[in-house]
Amino acid sequence: MFDEIYKQVQKNTLLEKIRSKSFNWNEFKKLAEKNNMEEANTYAQKRLQWLGAGSSRCAFVLSSRFVLKSALGAGPIGLASLKGVAQNKNEVEVFTSPNLKSIFTEIYDFDSNYRWLVCEIVKEAHNRDYLRAFGCTKAFFFYVLNKTIDKKTAPTEAVLKELAQGYRENVNKINFKKLFETFNGVEEATKYGLHGGDMRYDDHWGITASGRIVLLDFGLSLDIWDQHYLGGRI
């Protein structure tokens, strides 16, 4: 019950911050409900800070804490990209999985048809952020990350300590329990079917306002890759 109340307070805070701008949340939703994402995204782009776009989705800053991810418009009338909808849906499903939730951004709201979602904003993580979060360098984090993805198995805390010693990390400062929990989440993600290549990019990882190092772009699964990218669907 407390979690639900807390999330509702967060949503209300989000809406309050949006009202102070020219962006009208209900107007954006109305356009999205018509499945005219070309127009919905153009509306948002004129009123919100643009974060960028990928192959199927674009992102906007809603506030100091929240970001809006929206499926791109596709085709002659700007219908929601099937790729974008699939990736939004996958992010929601991944986030609601107890075994995966620890390494992903919080999702606070989403369209029932997955045309858009609202999640916590994540900023670029520098070496100092990895040192604060785990006590290890960014280079060591990605060294172990790649091993975990390749083997689809997270190293134990004991193995992590051995790897850190070999990498000349300051083992006395590393939180091996926290590091293991993160790589265990990565292992679960690979088993779930998330695209390993997507997880390897350092710019797909970032830091939240609470100091968590998380994967910020996690919509691309192997199934989505096969169906929408290799298959050529828009």
pLDDT at 16 over 60: no
At residue 95, the 3 state secondary structure works out as helix
At residue 3, the 3 state secondary structure works out as helix
**Tens digits of per-residue pLDDT, 92-117?**
887 777 777 778 888 899 999 999 99
C-alpha to C-alpha distance for 29 and 68, rounded to whole angstroms = 12
Q: What is the pLDDT of residue 2?
A: 32
**Tens digits of per-residue pLDDT, 167-202?**
999 999 999 999 999 999 899 888 877 766 778 888
Question: For residues 34 and 41, is the Cβ–Cβ distance under 8 A?
Answer: no
- Partners of 59 in the beta sheet? 52, 69
pLDDT band of 132, cuts 50, 70, 90: very high
C-alpha to C-alpha distance for 184 and 189, rounded to whole angstroms = 9
Q: For 119, left (φ over 0), alpha (ψ -120 to 50), or beta?
A: beta
What angle separates helix 25-33 from helix 37-47, to the nearest 10 degrees?
A: 160
pLDDT at 19 over 60: no
Buried b (16+ CB within 10 A) or exposed e, 61-93: ebbebbbbbbbbbbeeebbbbbbbbbbbbbbbe
